[in-house]
Structure 1
Amino acid sequence: MSVQRLGYLGFEVSDVQAWRSFMTEKLGAMEAGGDEYSARFRTDSRSWRLLVEKGPADDISFAGFEVDSEEALFAIGERLESHGVKVTSESSELAAERGVLGLISCVDPMDTRVEIYFGATELFEKPFVSPTGVSSFLTGDQGLGHYVMAVPDIDAAMEFYVQGLGLNLSDIIDWTLREDLTAKLHFLHCNGRHHSLAIVGLPETKKMHHFMLETELMDDVGFAYDKFDVDQSVVMTLGRHTNDHMLSFYGATPSGFAVEYGWGARQVEPGWSVVRYDRISMWGHKFVGSH
């Protein structure tokens, strides 16, 4: 038993209004309610996928992983507890706030809140409409997308996410950022998406390195790239990754970590073998400016 997909992400941000503009005008997400202290955003038929709440951290505040039933939720809770993880059964009030039928939570070894839930709210009667004209985002059985976290202890993180949550290793990249800095990235999947989470040992001040949204059309990536290029907020240029083959670029968010905006990733298929890579990209993905 494992979690089935990444369902949602929450961020604590110092400037909610900047994020509101960023999510809608640059990424093409649809606002789904909020106030001066918080805002939610849709990328598909779900009632929300991304939440920003006012606070000083400018970092991830929680990640939500989905399972398909109440029975699966109980099984994941038992699996976590069998590995020494304290699990909290959340109140019906918080479940209602998240728009789910059942919700448990725990914290990973980096003290990041992880929520597991079933029964998310669908809004087919209120179709997703991108304010920038994005055709659609690739979600469904593959979930929201992915995120990458910088961790101080790879072994502890792997034990939690693999042994506890049940994610599986896709592959590893030994990434040379410069002569004096290398990093080992571990990519983890729980469905056909190549990775829903990646963890990397980097001397980051933030837990969140980046999160990723995948579009259904390549042109949507190009249109978004132009928006980031106009105000010089591109972090890494267009490129194609070696492992998941995604064509993407990276842009700066209002909180200092990055967003990857991509298209065309290959999926994990039956018979997949774990391999390693020496480079993160076949071409492109060049750092821009001081980033």
Structure 2
Amino acid sequence: MSVASLGYIGFAVSDLEAWKTYGGQVLGMMPIEGPDEGLRFRIDDHAWRIAVQAGEADDIAFAGFEVSDAAALDAVSASLVAHDIPFTPASPEQLAERQVTGLISCQDPEGLAIEIYYGPTLRTEKPFVSPAGVSGFITGEQGLGHIVLTTSDIAAAKRFYCEALGFALSDIIRMALSPEFAIDLEFFHCNRRHHTLALVPLPFPAPKRMHHFMVQTRTLDEVGFALDRLERAKGTLVQTLGRHTNDQMVSFYARTPSGFEVEYGQGAVEVDAATWRVARHDKMSSWGHKRVG
């Protein structure tokens, strides 16, 4: 039993107009109207992948993980029961708002709203068109991309995401914060994407749960064009172009209007469950990814 992919994410943000410009003109996602005067973005044939709603947190508000069908949703429900995790079936109004066929909701150990669903609405009659000319993003069975969450209780987080939802460890990066102190960043997959989820353990509560989210383009040129758009928009580059040691993605990091980061990349390796072996890395990147400022 495992969830199949990261289907959608929602953010509570203090500046909807800034997000409309940033998401559309810089990241190249397709903005559409959301419920309650909110904003949503498309990156493929799904009706939406990212929701932006008014709120002061400037942080992730919910994450939706897709499963294949009603039987798979029942299997996740049974797993939640087995792990003593309460969940709530969605009302008809909630199903309509999320534009899905079936859904249950629960919370991770630190209170983040987690939704498990099947049957998303597709808009194949109205193809994705990027306002910035992006040719497309890598989604499909790999889902939206990945999210990296901070946690003050890594053991509880792994019990929830791995034991209850079925994520599997891809690899670990040991990050040295000082000569005397290091933390292990753990990366988890649920499909061929190298990681759909990563957890950053902290010895203290972080100001935000969301460290960053990632979208993956089809070509390296798309990443370069996005860097140029970021510069023209006077956006904030956080890490320069570089290649990660573990997933081999070439990417850059930028600060979103809400303060957390977005990774914009291309070319990651994929997981073959039959042959994949867990590894440890001592550096985040083979080259680049230099902190700016």
Q: TM-score scaled by structure 2?
A: 0.96
Question: Within 1, Cα distance between the matches of 2:286 and 2:81?
Answer: 41
User: Structure 1 regions of 5+ residues with no counterpart?
Assistant: none
Query: Are the counterparts in 2 of residues 235 and 287 from structure 1 also a CA contact under 8 Å?
Result: yes
| 31-40 or 105-114, which deviates more | 31-40
Look up the SS of the partner of 1:95 in the other structure: helix
* CA distances 1:28-85 after superposition (whole Å, capped 9, x unpaired): 0001213784100000000000000001100000000000000110110110110110
Aligned to 2:262: 259
Query: Are the counterparts in 2 of residues 147 and 210 from structure 1 also a CA contact under 8 Å?
Result: yes
- Identity in percent: 53
Q: Give the CA deviation at 1:182.
A: 2.9
Question: Within 1, Cα distance between the matches of 2:245 and 2:60?
Answer: 26
Residue from 191, 215, 218 that aligns with 2:217: 215
Query: Are the counterparts in 1 of residues 100 and 121 from structure 2 also a CA contact under 8 Å?
Result: yes
Question: Are positions 1:235 and 2:238 aligned together?
Answer: yes
Look up the SS of the partner of 1:283 in the other structure: strand
* CA distances 1:63-115 after superposition (whole Å, capped 9, x unpaired): 00000000110110110110110011110110111010001010000110000
Question: Within 2, Cα distance between the matches of 1:100 and 1:180?
Answer: 48
Residue from 221, 225, 228 that aligns with 1:226: 228
| 1-10 or 34-43, which deviates more | 34-43
Question: How many residues in Structure 1 have an aligned counterpart in Structure 2?
Answer: 289
| 111-120 or 177-186, which deviates more | 177-186
Aligned to 2:68: 68
Aligned to 2:124: 124
Amino acid aligned to 1:58: D
Query: Are the counterparts in 2 of residues 32 and 47 from structure 1 also a CA contact under 8 Å?
Result: no
- Using a 3 Å threshold, how does the CA distance of structure 1 residues 215 and 56 change in structure 2: closer, same or farther? same
Question: Within 1, Cα distance between the matches of 2:34 and 2:266?
Answer: 29
Question: Are positions 1:250 and 2:240 aligned together?
Answer: no
CA RMSD of aligned residues (A): 1.3
Q: TM-score scaled by structure 1?
A: 0.97
Amino acid aligned to 2:116: I
User: Structure 2 regions of 5+ residues with no counterpart?
Assistant: none
Amino acid aligned to 2:256: T
* CA distances 1:104-160 after superposition (whole Å, capped 9, x unpaired): 010000110000000000101000000001011000000000000010011000010
Question: Within 2, Cα distance between the matches of 1:180 and 1:171?
Answer: 23
Question: Within 1, Cα distance between the matches of 2:50 and 2:77?
Answer: 24
Aligned to 2:186: 186
Amino acid aligned to 1:217: T
